[in-house]
Structure 1
Amino acid sequence: MTLQLFLKKKRDHSLKRVAFLTKESQMKKYFMLFFSLLLFISFGSQGFVNAQEISSSEKAGNYTVTPNFGISQKKETYNFYDMKLAPKASDNFELTLNNESNQPQTFQIEINNATTNSNGIVDYTQSKFKKDPSMKLDLKDLIKNDSPQLTVGGHQSHTVRFHLTMPDQAFNGILLGGIVVRPVQEKKEGKGIQNVFIHTIALRIAENDTPVHSELIGGDVKIGQENLHNQVSMAIRNPQAKLMSQLNGDFIITKKGETKPLVNIQKQNLSIAPNSAFELPVSLNDHFKPGTYTYKIVLKNDHEDWQFLKDFTIKESEANMYNQTSVDYTKKTDLNWIHYMLVGITLFLLLILFYFWGKRSK
């Protein structure tokens, strides 16, 4: 009887231990589940955004472009058109377009003047924009294209020819632009935005190597919105036929008469096209508040620097108008509350789970 009682107690203890281990294993699963949920709430949204960005990337088109240079091409330049001609002189140059797809493709060939976009980057892709008064010469008037639009068969190539005629009056500096190849796609019903991959080959034309002095001019300050974000911008002009590159900028906004910055942003490697003007904005990441402010911009490279100081006033009517649609402040606040609420709910559920697990273990 003693041996049987001992074996019975040992068996009962083993069964209780198995049951305890089973419960412990289940609790570990529940804990991992809730822990994964907590991680997802904290970081999941950012992960989904990154995954979407990666999956949406595609190969940049099924065609290639190759420049064929004329006799005026500078010998040291081989990857873009870089020509030097005398006044009234002319030259021919070409572009070979190769369709690597199985189907015919239609392309539009543009000759564009270089301009500067709001990010402080030289842009060759804009065919229509407000020109600066200093832009006296237009590449569209100097260069003729024999095929503004053409169709190239599958796995075939076509050579586009350009004829350049220099103006009668001599000029110093450079003319800067680009040859842009843009696929023409038919609009299909039921489809959203379609990716169009364009190719651009820069085009630089000069008559001499006479140095051109650098000049930048600061203009008016205005407030506005870009993609529902409040921003302040200043007009910047480059009235000279000279490319301004490798500029670093400091952008500071203060209340008028005060020194504490409300906005203090640095931007690097800015570039400004010759004879161009653009709006250089900074985002506030906040609502507009009525009042008078001072906007200070410092632009500099290794050799020169420019400083622009402008006062501007935000009217109450303007502030109210833009703040009604601004996402800078309200969106961030709402998202933070939602995030904290979800984290709190998850922690509360974990506490309840541990409470009942502790009671059952006892």
Structure 2
Amino acid sequence: MKKWIAIVVALLGIVLPTVTHAEDLNFSVNANLPANQIDSKNTYFDLKVEPGQTQNLEITIHNNYKTAHKFKVSPNQAVTNVNGIVDYSNHNLKKDSTLAAPFESMMAEPKTVTVAGNTDQTVSLKLTVPEKAFRGTVLGGIQVRDLTAGGQAKKTKGISLTNKYAYVIGVQLREETDELIEPNLKLNQIKTKQTNGYNSIAANLQNTEPVILHDFVVKAHINKRGSSKSVITTNKKDMTMAPNSNFDFELTPKDNKLTPGKYTLYLDAKGEDGKYHWKFKRDFVITQAEASRLNRSIVNGQNYFWWLVIAIAFIILLILALIYMIWRLRKNKKAQD
């Protein structure tokens, strides 16, 4: 009987996924704040700078592993990702068309350092402010990624975990601390797109000014042109846009299928707890060719999920029935003996 149980367990191991838990992330990073830090309460770099200024930004990596680990230290431009979140996790991305003072152009190139086990190491990155004065806020982050191993870490103010193996320390640069710059929202292209098998209609939104847009809320719906009935509705709140950045605000069809035709997008956006308000109305067309092309490769998430559940349940029942039959055969055989 034990032999058959072992076989069944092995079969279940093939059918059902194995869940594993990563070890705790065993390193940390902190910023060594310089004299030109605007607010010493912040744990990230919040610096007042001058045109042509150079200085070294220093961070300390605390390696609590017993062995040496390699870390990649990368200064990255702040962008807005598709979820409406300020993202510092990528280097050398395409610049926004309104970005006049890129953070990466002011910083040294990424570097890799090796930190011995159970030791701290200070890493210095040179900052060179352009001779030409810039307006508003330059926003970026210094990402420290463990190239050797890692796990997970908690989020603290000014420092966030971008993946299983990386911390980011924010960097905010300003030349004028009392300068008032108001955000401006622009609606760019509307297009169809597909991500991981899921179709959407993407309205590209752009913050054209060098200022962070907080408390960003968008309510959007799409109608057939000339109709008052919405065919797709998407509302999102608690978003933030980086200065001089853009992202695709995605509206997803309920059945994941795009229908060709003429449409109108209505988009209502607010920022800074309703202080700023923008309204957009834009006609667009989904052609038969693009709808057919994208619909051929979609994933039907709901149906796929339930079919998977049914299939797993059926296999489990089949295996249990097999165990019962074997047990009955063995019991009858013993009774005959």
Class of the TM-score when normalised by the shorter of the 2 chains: 0.7 to 0.9
Q: Matches of 1:120 and 1:280 in 2, distance apart?
A: 8
Aligned partner of 1:304 among 276, 281, 284: 276
Give the structure with the higher percent strand: 2
Instruction: Name the aligned partner's letter for residue 172 of structure 2.
Output: R
Calculate the TM-score normalised by the size of structure 1. 0.72
Is the contact between residue 137 and residue 211 of structure 2 (CA under 8 Å) also seen in structure 1? yes
Q: Matches of 2:87 and 2:171 in 1, distance apart?
A: 12
Name the residue aligned to 2:179: 210
1:88 positional shift: 2.3
Q: Matches of 1:89 and 1:171 in 2, distance apart?
A: 13
Name the residue aligned to 1:314: 286
Is the contact between residue 220 and residue 310 of structure 1 (CA under 8 Å) also seen in structure 2? no
Name the residue aligned to 2:117: 154
Calculate the TM-score normalised by the size of structure 2. 0.77
Q: Matches of 1:335 and 1:108 in 2, distance apart?
A: 38
Q: Which aligned pairs between 1:72-87 and structure 2 lie closer than 5 A?
A: 72-87=36-51
Name the residue aligned to 2:326: none
Question: Structure 2 vs 1, CA of residues 179 and 335 (structure 1 numbering), >3 Å: closer, same or farther?
Answer: closer
- For the residue of structure 2 that corresponds to 1:144, the secondary structure is coil
Name the residue aligned to 2:144: 181
In structure 2, list runs of 5 or more residues that go unmatched: 1-15, 150-162, 318-337
Q: Matches of 1:138 and 1:281 in 2, distance apart?
A: 26
- Superposed CA deviations along residues 11-57 of structure 1, whole A, max 9, x for unmatched, are xxxxxxxxxxxxxxxxxxxxxxxxxxxxxxxxxxxxx89x94xx546
Matched, 1:235 2:207: no
Name the residue aligned to 1:222: 191
Q: Matches of 2:305 and 2:118 in 1, distance apart?
A: 51
Q: Matches of 1:77 and 1:85 in 2, distance apart?
A: 18
Is the contact between residue 101 and residue 134 of structure 2 (CA under 8 Å) also seen in structure 1? no
Name the residue aligned to 2:78: 114
1:233 positional shift: 0.2
Q: Matches of 1:161 and 1:221 in 2, distance apart?
A: 43
Is the contact between residue 292 and residue 314 of structure 1 (CA under 8 Å) also seen in structure 2? yes
Q: Matches of 2:104 and 2:307 in 1, distance apart?
A: 55
Is the contact between residue 178 and residue 203 of structure 1 (CA under 8 Å) also seen in structure 2? yes
Percent of aligned pairs with the same amino acid: 28
- For the residue of structure 1 that corresponds to 2:189, the secondary structure is strand
Name the residue aligned to 1:294: 264
1:306 positional shift: 1.0
Is the contact between residue 233 and residue 251 of structure 2 (CA under 8 Å) also seen in structure 1? no
Q: Matches of 2:210 and 2:302 in 1, distance apart?
A: 44
Aligned partner of 2:231 among 254, 257, 262: 262
Question: Structure 2 vs 1, CA of residues 217 and 144 (structure 1 numbering), >3 Å: closer, same or farther?
Answer: same
Q: Matches of 2:308 and 2:31 in 1, distance apart?
A: 54
- For the residue of structure 2 that corresponds to 1:300, the secondary structure is strand
Give the structure with the higher percent helix: 1
1:171 positional shift: 2.2
* Bigger Rg, structure 1 or 2: 1
Q: Matches of 2:83 and 2:47 in 1, distance apart?
A: 28
Name the residue aligned to 2:105: 141
Q: Matches of 1:244 and 1:304 in 2, distance apart?
A: 10
Q: Matches of 1:79 and 1:254 in 2, distance apart?
A: 46
1:311 positional shift: 1.5
Question: Structure 2 vs 1, CA of residues 300 and 102 (structure 1 numbering), >3 Å: closer, same or farther?
Answer: same
In structure 1, list runs of 5 or more residues that go unmatched: 1-47, 187-194, 347-362
Question: Structure 2 vs 1, CA of residues 326 and 66 (structure 1 numbering), >3 Å: closer, same or farther?
Answer: same
Is the contact between residue 232 and residue 254 of structure 2 (CA under 8 Å) also seen in structure 1? no
Q: Which aligned pairs between 1:246-257 and structure 2 lie closer than 5 A?
A: 246-257=215-226
Is the contact between residue 131 and residue 277 of structure 1 (CA under 8 Å) also seen in structure 2? no
- Superposed CA deviations along residues 260-282 of structure 1, whole A, max 9, x for unmatched, are 11112211111111111222212
